[in-house]
Amino acid sequence: MRSMTGFGLAEHPLGAGKLCAEVRSLNHRFLELRVRLPMEIADHSFFVEQLCRERLGRGRYDVSVRLEGNALPAPELDLDRIRSAYRALQRVRDELAPGSELPLGLLAGLPGLLTSPAAGDPEPVRAALRSIIHAALHSLDEMRAAEGAHLTNELRERVRLARGLLGELARQGPALLEAQQKRLEQRLARWVNGAEALDPSRVAMEIAVLVDRCDTTEELVRLESHFEQFETQLHAPGPSGRKLDFLLQEIGRETNTIGAKCQDASLSHLVVALKAEIERLREQVQNVE
């Protein structure tokens, strides 16, 4: 099991400097990826995104790369473009304001006049990006695995407490159900006292129906099964967050049914405590990949 929260950091030499990469992850229902690269290598953003998508599951990830030192050769002026741009400006000047001054500073605002020597062969930059992204993701995985181990222990403890409450519900249920049946019989006896005799079998059948509606045996059996599956999933290989979340939905549904059937204060208190543990489990599962 791995947490969806983590941080990875890596460096890789490039030229006379180095590349530095950081990967931050947070919990999210789907895969959301944001990649930020320096302007000098921004055209490699899609390449980096593909590298990340090959390794990442659901979660929100921020991937940022920066250049340090003289990682890339200094940009060079494209003289052919500069000359062409200046001649075009001269033609516009001669048409609109003949004889006016045409300062060279106008060229500074024109894009594409600087070129990077590295732009010709992208493979050295891509090789460095491939290495640094893989290293940063490996660092991220190590941290997420460590966080996942803590999450596993926390979830196992929460399940232990929830199953303890479940066992108490199962232990108290039959006695309380029998007591409820006796109370129904006593109330019915008082209600018919002095009235015409009623069919005893009919009375017994109606009481049995009412008591059966309060019986939580089936829900308790299903809850025990769900908790067993939950614990098994804690140690299953691969991402398990969605499966755990689904199991908690089913556990919550069964618990709500038990709460609706409970007619005893002590059982109601146990159900409330069980719901609280389920909610704590749900909060933790949101961080599981």
In this structure, the answer to whether residues 92 and 193 fall within a common structural domain is no
pLDDT-based confidence at residue 173 (cuts at 50, 70, 90): low
The parent domain of residue 140 ranges over 6-74+123-146
| Same domain for 36 and 87 | no
Same-domain status, 98 and 49: no
pTM (2 d.p.): 0.68
Give Cβ neighbours of residue 203 (< 8 Å, ≥ 6 apart): 188
The H or E element spanning position 16 is strand 16-26
| Contact present, 6 and 59 (Cβ < 8 Å) | no
pLDDT of residue 240: 86
Q: Are residues 108 and 216 in the same domain?
A: no
Instruction: Indicate whether 101 and 176 sit together in one domain.
Output: no
Q: Which residue has the higher pLDDT, 192 or 83?
A: 83
Looking at residue 107, what is its pLDDT?
Answer: 73
- Domain check: are 63 and 98 in the same one? no
Alpha helices, DSSP H, located in 54-122: 79-96
245 domain-assigned: yes
Does residue 240 share a domain with residue 188?
yes
pLDDT tens digits for 64-121? 998 887 766 666 666 778 888 888 888 888 888 888 888 877 777 777 666 665 555 6
Residues 88 and 129 in one domain: no
- Same domain? For 221 and 91 the reply is no
Summarised one tens digit per residue, pLDDT across range 214-225 is 677 788 889 999
Helix (H, G, I), strand (E, B) or coil at 168: helix
Is 199 or 186 the better-scoring residue by pLDDT? 186
Answer whether residue 1 is part of any domain: no
pLDDT tens profile 110-148: 776 666 655 556 788 888 899 999 999 999 999 999 998
